Amino acid sequence: MKVVIVGAGAVGFQLAKQLISEKKDVVLIEKNPDTSARVSNALDCMVVTGEGTSREILRQAGTATADYFVAATNSDEVNMIACGIVSSEFPVKAKIARVRSFDYHASKLSEKRFLGIDFVVNPEIEAARAIMRAVDFGAVSDIMAFEQSNVQIRNIVVERDGPLTGRTLEELSQVLPGSFLVAVVIRENRYLIPSGDTRVQGGDILYVVANEGDFDEIFDSLGKGRSELNRVILVGGGRIGQQVAEYLQSGPPQSLFRRVARRLTGQETRQVKIVERDYQRCKELIERFPKALVINADISDDGVFEEQHFANADLVIAATDNQELNIVTALYAKSQGIKRSVVLVNRASYAPIAAQLGIDVPVSQKNAIVTTILRFIRSGAVRSVHTISDGRIEAIELTVRADSRAVGKAIRDLSLPKDTLIVAMERDGMSLVPGGNNVIRGNDQLVVVAKKEHGDRVQEIFTQ
């Protein structure tokens, strides 16, 4: 597979890095000579210096033989025009455009295939969705949900003097309720594919596979049971903050019984306080969200928490453009007694650090958009893709083709790459954690955890 990417910024660089590790043929186009030189030294791929809207530059990049074209510059217009030129000049299978403007999304570009764009992805919308999903599940941990499987993957940070420290994974079933599987352990920025005798250490991040009901029991036993998050402090009224505020005011779809119950208990809507330091933006927020209390203040100023009585809130969401400020804000909020915290970070490497510091849900904007693009590129048998440990590990949801060579074989006989685990199997509406003796059938829905460089191999085994 060959992928041409225009724009070597944070998203383009991370996407290229991910695809290169999967042995894809990647070409980057970057107009800034300094950035182009730096990226050329950092990545093992061809880098072309020039404008992504130049036909000659596109030809030099080998776009004529590309399978996918991704326009990921900081300019919506450049990305759309580049896709339009590629659509008219080159036989590329699919064109993907990073488009940040909500006005463009409102016109449903992706549905109309405007300028030949096959898929539109918005970094702010993807990050906001990740935050909303976390709030839906009580903001107790990061969550990886799948389209066809009932299982989820969530992270648990091991407290240094907590009940899990020093126990083997086999012994965790004596401490934690429910049925679960530990698929990955992150330790000191390294990952482990564990076995039953792997001993848990303080500061480890465990990526656990279980269904929603079992997770409720697990987190409840760890003192992080799900509770109503009705009083919310939202720090940052920018693009992402506005998307989250819209969700907080309207909420997810609910049953009639749930809506009636909320009215009877006086909890029909959440009490949302939005903290934004830009006065003009505050005026816009007041007009757009009349039910919210908009506070014009700098959250880093002394006394803001005390003056505004934030300590009685249930949840703080820090979604400013400053990831360090977000982390510090959430940590201070937790120290003041706010139960749950969700933090937006730009660098994916900050997410595990934030989790180890005690933040409940760190959301990486870069990871959100890269994961969305990867899911589109791998569409077909692959239903969804989630990344773990800064993209070094992937959780892949896929459907086994009826004519796959894996059909009729026991899992132990599949010659899966080293450290690859099938952590869930969905068959005829039933979910199970398969063992080596389970036989693969056509149309089985699997969740597979593997190193990123083995992603293509895993997909081949079950789809060819």
Cα 227 from chain centre: 23
Residues 12 and 107 in one domain: yes
The strands making up 271-276's β-sheet, listed across from edge to edge, are: 293-296, 271-276, 231-235, 315-318, 340-345, 361-364
Mind giving me the DSSP string for 352-398?
HHHHHTT-SEEEEHHHHHHHHHHHHHTTTTEEEEEEETTTTEEEEEE
Distances (CA, A) of 443 to 144, 157, 176, 344: 22, 35, 33, 37
> CA-to-CA distance for 108 and 128, rounded, in angstroms?
18
Residues 116 and 19 in one domain: yes
Quick check: is 226 in a domain?
A: no
Digitized pLDDT (tens) for each residue of the chain, 464 residues in all: 899 999 998 889 988 988 887 788 999 999 999 999 999 999 999 999 999 999 999 999 999 999 999 999 999 999 999 999 999 999 999 999 998 876 655 455 545 567 788 888 888 888 998 999 899 989 999 888 888 788 899 999 998 888 999 999 999 988 999 889 999 999 887 888 888 899 999 999 999 999 888 999 999 999 888 888 999 999 999 999 999 999 998 765 444 444 444 444 444 468 999 999 999 999 999 999 999 999 999 998 888 888 888 888 999 999 999 999 999 999 999 999 999 999 999 887 888 889 889 999 999 888 888 888 887 887 666 778 888 877 788 888 888 988 888 999 999 999 899 889 998 888 887 877 788 899 999 989 899 999 888 888 888 888 87
Q: Among residues 199, 167, 223, 172, which one has the least CA distance to residue 358?
A: 223
Supply the CATH number for residue 282's domain: 3.40.50.720
Supply the CATH number for residue 198's domain: 3.30.70.1450
Indicate the DSSP class of residue 440.
P
Residues 25 and 116 in one domain: yes
The answer to whether 171 and 194 are in contact (CB under 8 A) is no
Residues 45 and 115 in one domain: yes
Residues 193 and 211 in one domain: yes
Residues 213 and 246 in one domain: no
Residue type, 195: S
Q: Among residues 353, 375, 374, which one has the least CA distance to residue 362?
A: 353
> CA-to-CA distance for 209 and 193, rounded, in angstroms?
13
Residues 42 and 145 in one domain: no
| Number of residues that make up the chain | 464
Residues 444 and 404 in one domain: yes
The number of domains in the chain is 4
**Domain hosting residue 283, numbered range:** 231-338
* pTM for the full predicted model: 0.83
Quick check: is 355 in a domain?
A: no
Quick check: is 346 in a domain?
A: no
Q: Name the domain boundary from 121, 147, 181.
A: 121
Residues 141 and 252 in one domain: no
Residues 69 and 44 in one domain: yes
